[in-house]
Amino acid sequence: MVLNKRATALLAAGFLAITCTAASAAESMSFVSWGGSTQDAQKQAWADPFSKSSGIKVVQDGPTDYGKLKAMVESGNVQWDVVDVEADFALRAAAEGLLEPLDFNVIQRDKLDPRFVSDHGVGSFFFSFVLGYNQNKLGAKTPDNWNALFDTKTFPGKRALYKWPSPGVLELALLADGVPADKLYPLDLDRAFKKLDTIKQDIVWWGGGAQSQQLLASGEASLGQFWNGRIHALQEDGAPVGVSWKQNLVMADFLVIPKGSKNKDAAMRFLANSSSAKGQADFSNLTAYAPINTDSVQRLDSVLAPNLPTAYAKDQITLDFAYWAKNGQSIATRWNEWLLK
């Protein structure tokens, strides 16, 4: 069969249109995170270099919204490709079938700290809840561990604690009440809330990093529970704050791909880039959050390294993300009821 010129031209045009459509799908992808300085650093350390090397544009979106992610997957209209979520949500979402399984032929799993990788997520970064204190408020008194939060005689003033029902507050209460680190789970909720009752009137709650910094730097809170990166930033700004790394509580964010992502292959490549030794080190050097790639440590800024959780592994307690993934929703109900009492 011989095609005339018009038919040949039409076939060629159709083939070109199909090719262009396929190519355009791979020319961009979305990245969703929490906004602020953290997402700015993720863009600088991961998205911009990835776009430059791959030719794939990374469109920033956010903030992360768990309800929105679930609704997208259930409706079959998934607009997000890579999402930064908390570790316990990553595990719960995977169990609910909301996430794509990761391709570890693309992502180098053996270089990742096993605490921060699962079949459906790789660590974005990890951080520690540390005991921070205002030196002007406490003078020569130096709190050493979580016990200080409950010693209002020696360390007077308000205590700043994270207000959301998530890993951290209940664990530090149990540690201060004498529970050994290796016996924390399953959490003794009655004991934890009873311990918190002893200082409830002295607690000021913070819901975000900037608020926590304001409470401590201003002296409204004498001491409390803080993200290590926020304490480091205050110290860099010359604020009169100190930190104890004893019993630092490790938490992490994970990067996941929603089930039904339209750009799954590009998303896998993005995860490989962001979890690489260079990608993780570059992000850590911008934020003072710790890298999840074990080869990143040697790439860390020598001045910054002593202010990262990686330098305090011996004093570290990794929170049980799997326990919270399974029990977090029921704990949240009790937590919210307790706050209202």
The per-residue pLDDT for 6 is 38
- Whole-angstrom distance, CA of residue 138 vs CA of residue 126: 29
The pTM is what? 0.83
DSSP H helices, 177-256, are 189-197, 209-218, 228-236
Q: Is 214 helix (H, G, I), strand (E, B) or coil?
A: helix
Strands 158-162, 221-227: pairing kind: parallel
The total number of residues written for the chain in this structure: 341
The per-residue pLDDT for 35 is 87
The per-residue pLDDT for 229 is 87
The per-residue pLDDT for 26 is 57
Residues of the chain predicted below pLDDT 50: 1-25
Tokens of 341: 């009492």
Other C-beta atoms closer than 10 Å to the C-beta of 238 total 8
Give the bridge partners for 318, in sequence order. Answer: 250
The answer to whether the CB of 108 falls within 8 A of the CB of 290 is: no
Tokens of 233: 């930033």
**Intrachain domains 5-126+253-312 and 127-251+313-340 with the same fold:** yes
The per-residue pLDDT for 37 is 82
CATH superfamily of 5-126+253-312: Periplasmic binding protein-like II (3.40.190.10)
**H/E stretch holding 132:** strand 121-134
Tokens of 21: 């459509």
304 to 24, 157, 209, 235, 242: CA distances (angstroms): 41, 30, 19, 12, 16
- Whole-angstrom distance, CA of residue 35 vs CA of residue 43: 10
Q: Which residue has the tokens 């863009």?
A: 43
DSSP state at residue 43:
I
Domain topology for 127-251+313-340: D-Maltodextrin-Binding Protein; domain 2 (3.40.190)
The answer to whether the CB of 271 falls within 8 A of the CB of 82 is: yes
Q: Which residue has the tokens 């900037």?
A: 210
- Whole-angstrom distance, CA of residue 238 vs CA of residue 107: 40
The tens digit of pLDDT for each residue in 21-58 reads 443 445 899 999 988 888 999 999 999 999 999 999 99
Domain ranges in the chain are 5-126+253-312, 127-251+313-340
Burial of 171 (0-12, 13-18, 19+ CB in 10 A): buried
